[in-house]
Amino acid sequence: MEVDPLALESRRRIYEAVRTRPGVSGREVERLTEMARGETVYHLERLVEAQLVHREPAGHQDHYFAASVPLGERTLLRLARSPSARRLMVVMLKDPAQTVPELREKTGLSQARISVHMRRLLETGLVESGRKGRLRTFAIVDPARALRLLVTYRQGYADGFVEGLLETWAEMFPP
């Protein structure tokens, strides 16, 4: 039995990929570490057994989190792995109570894609719906929490949506 579960360099690479990208899928870990599927699965399992990493099944793939990520943040972070969901979250943080046509205009996403992600965000309780005339609106329930999570884990996202939000936030609330 190994004394240190992170003694192997390959396992340390996998752990670092999971630590810096909460909610990462096993396939994404493979790509990030450039390791074979079997090797990646084996080492992820050893990290789960050592309780350094948590695995959360979600539909057709598992998502991995460092043990230091609180349970209450995992669902939001798993959803934020999607660039489309992140884009919607950023738009709603910048301007609450958005309708689907407004979200479509500001994100460039299709109505169908917006609907899929809004359903997921509503199910988690991160987003609530309201009304603006005849149109349904969507707003983030706890903007401070959502912003804190996006900022805390922004290094795991390969796009500029969160960075753009931080620039806007800095302009709104200068030091």
Looking at residue 120, which CATH number applies to its domain? 1.10.10.10
| Predicted pLDDT of residue 112 | 94
Helix axes 111-124, 83-94, angle to 10 degrees: 80
Among 27, 48, 69, identify where a domain stops. Answer: 69
Among 69, 94, 112, identify where a domain stops. Answer: 69
Among 21, 47, 69, identify where a domain stops. Answer: 69
Give the domain range for residue 107. Answer: 76-172
> Exposed, middle or buried by CB within 10 Å (0-12, 13-18, 19+), for 36?
exposed
| Predicted pLDDT of residue 34 | 94
Residue 6 CA to residue 47 CA, distance in Å, equals: 8
96 and 23 in a single domain? The answer is: no
Domain count, the chain: 2
pTM for the full predicted model: 0.72
List strand residue ranges (DSSP E) for 19-165, in order.
24-25, 53-58, 61-66, 98-99, 127-132, 135-140
When comparing pLDDT for 150 and 15, which is higher?
Answer: 15
Reported as a single tens digit per residue, the pLDDT across 118-172 is: 998 998 888 999 998 899 999 999 988 888 887 777 766 655 555 666 665 555 5
Confidence of residue 74 (pLDDT cuts 50, 70, 90): confident
What is the pLDDT averaged over residues 92-106? 92
| Predicted pLDDT of residue 70 | 86
Predicted confidence (pLDDT) at residue 107 exceeds the cutoff of 70: yes
Amino acid at 49: E
15 and 95 in a single domain? The answer is: no
| Predicted pLDDT of residue 11 | 95
Predicted confidence (pLDDT) at residue 98 exceeds the cutoff of 70: yes
| Predicted pLDDT of residue 174 | 53
What is the pLDDT averaged over residues 6-30? 92
| 155 within a domain of the structure (yes/no) | yes
Helix axes 37-49, 26-33, angle to 10 degrees: 110
The Cα-based distances of 79 to 63, 110, 155, 170 in angstroms read 10, 18, 16, 25
88 and 164 in a single domain? The answer is: yes
- Cα angle value 44/16/43 (rounded, 5°): 20
| Predicted pLDDT of residue 128 | 94
Predicted confidence (pLDDT) at residue 47 exceeds the cutoff of 60: yes
